[in-house]
Structure 1
Amino acid sequence: MPHLALYTFGVLKSPLADPAPLTREFYDIGEAVYRKISQRPGYLARAEAADGDRGMLFEADWGAWGEFAVPTWYDKGHTVETTALATTLSLWTDLRSAFDAIYTGPHREALNRRYDWFERTGHANHVFWWVSDDLIPTWRDGVSRLEHLHDHGSAPHAFTFHDSFAPDGTPTRIKGIGQKSDHVR
């Protein structure tokens, strides 16, 4: 059965290495959120650097997840001192599980504060696509899909919660996902 790949990308208002309270708060909350999400039903795996420290995204060894990459529109730093981004690459069993993990609990609370930490870029901040169950998506795959979504909108190749597709490429709606009342984008 195919797995659902999810790539998220956001540009932070300040570098991860910034000692300011809001940056430290974001980083600390992020660690707690990742721990909770990894315990959720439907979660399979996420890209984790072998020995990555805070801000060591570009130099890290990501193993099967490939070399770290960012969208072409990211114009901030690439060094430990200047990197100002938050990104994830993960695998899920299905849309419902990913939706429930993202829009409930600690992650929902963090989303409510996203504009404290993130710039408004005019670009989508997440993209989904289906992969065979024996495939690990790469960072480059995620970037490519996010850029495709930005340039062409949702399609089976790259989609959002609001305009989603089943593994066979047919449009799908799961109760509570993509409804106007969700305010999900």
Structure 2
Amino acid sequence: MHLAQLNVGRLRAPMEDPLIDDFRENLEPVNALAEASPGFVWRLQDEAGDATGIKVFDDDLEIVNLTVWESVEALADFVYRTGHTAFLRRRREWFEAPSQPILCLWWVPEGTIPAIDDAVVRLEHLRAHGPTPTAFTFRHRFDPGEETVVPGDDRDVCPA
């Protein structure tokens, strides 16, 4: 199994605004760092090479990042133990403070590329039900193989 990850954020200004310059100008190097990191498998991107132009929500300031990794540890190493960390610490410069969860993790069969619509449904599931095998967080993890309720099926509650 591989780990899928979705995170979303609402920018403080449009991507072309000078307030967002440092974020926008570092997307390519940070994405290259991710791709070169041990355990990286795949990331969502458009023709420009990032996902900022992929609009999933009605709000143009809301952007997404969807990736697949070999393990939670590989993703955590990239997020918290590489040059990415410096940008993570500065996120409030470019993004509004979230009022609900903005990141979710879930397991996918190796070789699976997650659909963005499924990823958003999983984030909504996390927001509604908290961490479950369907969608979880770094703090509240589930192992591969624990029962997963596929969002949208006829069961409305995930097993604990």
Q: TM-score, normalised by structure 1?
A: 0.73
Among all aligned residue pairs of Structure 1 and Structure 2, give the percentage whose two residues are the same amino acid: 33
Query: Which residue is 1:127 aligned to?
Result: 104
Q: State yes or no: 1:107 paired with 2:107.
A: no
**Does the 8 Å CA contact 1:17/1:55 hold for their aligned counterparts?**
no
Alpha-carbon separation, structure 2, partners of 1:53 and 1:89: 10
Query: Which residue is 2:157 aligned to?
Result: none
Deviation at 1:168, TM superposition (A): 1.5
Query: Which residue is 1:8 aligned to?
Result: 7
Number of residue pairs matched by the alignment:
147
Alignment RMSD, CA only? Answer: 1.9
2:10 partner amino acid: V
Alpha-carbon separation, structure 2, partners of 1:114 and 1:168: 33
Task: Indicate how the Cα distance of structure 1 residues 132 and 16 shifts in structure 2: closer, same or farther if over 3 A, else same.
Answer: same
Deviation at 1:85, TM superposition (A): 2.9
CA offsets 1:123-168 (integer angstroms, 9 cap, x no match)? 2121100011132101101111111111110000000000001102
Q: State yes or no: 1:35 paired with 2:35.
A: no
1:8 partner amino acid: N
User: Match for 1:45 among 42, 46, 66?
Assistant: 42
Query: Which residue is 2:66 aligned to?
Result: 89
**Does the 8 Å CA contact 1:6/1:89 hold for their aligned counterparts?**
yes
Deviation at 1:55, TM superposition (A): 5.2
Alpha-carbon separation, structure 1, partners of 2:50 and 2:7: 19
CA offsets 1:43-87 (integer angstroms, 9 cap, x no match)? 0011111457885323xxxxxxxxxx23xxxx63xxxxxx32332
Q: TM-score, normalised by structure 2?
A: 0.84
Query: Which residue is 2:158 aligned to?
Result: none
Deviation at 1:169, TM superposition (A): 1.6
Query: Which residue is 1:159 aligned to?
Result: 136
